[in-house]
Amino acid sequence: MAAARTATAGMTGHGGHDGHGGHGAPAAFDEVYQGRRIVGKPATGEHAAHGGFSASIDGKELHLMQNADGTWISVVNHYETFATPLAVTRAAVDKLRGAVLVPIAT
């Protein structure tokens, strides 16, 4: 699995996507990373305001936000930026180190 990991921490480029669906939107993903199932897909409704993408770790929502420059952050990695939703979700798994993600109350 380590070979599949991309080093994106601290990246500020947006990789040519606008994050709001349609052409150039971030790619959906569904994979097992470090023993955790991570899923990401374009979102609608309440999630669309935060970049139009939703992600989960083991079925628990990971709150993602897209910055004005196109980079991504999460509630787990709030002070690090990542180029894609996949990269920020993988980084959250790394940061959790096996802990269960507890969804934030809204």
pLDDT the model gives residue 47: 53
Residue 9, amino acid: A
Structure tokens belonging to residue 4: 């599949």
| pTM for the predicted model, two decimal places | 0.73
Assign domain 2-96 to a CATH class.
Answer: alpha beta
- Report the helix count and the strand count for the chain, using DSSP H and E: 1, 6
Q: How distant, in Å, are the alpha carbons of 2, 17, 28, 45, 68 from that of 13?
A: 23, 10, 19, 26, 11
pLDDT the model gives residue 46: 63
pLDDT the model gives residue 44: 75
Beta strands per DSSP E along the chain: 29-33, 36-42, 53-57, 60-62, 64-66, 72-74
pLDDT, tens only, 63-76? 999 999 999 999 99
pLDDT the model gives residue 20: 44
Q: Give the residue ranges of the chain where pLDDT is below 50.
A: 1-21
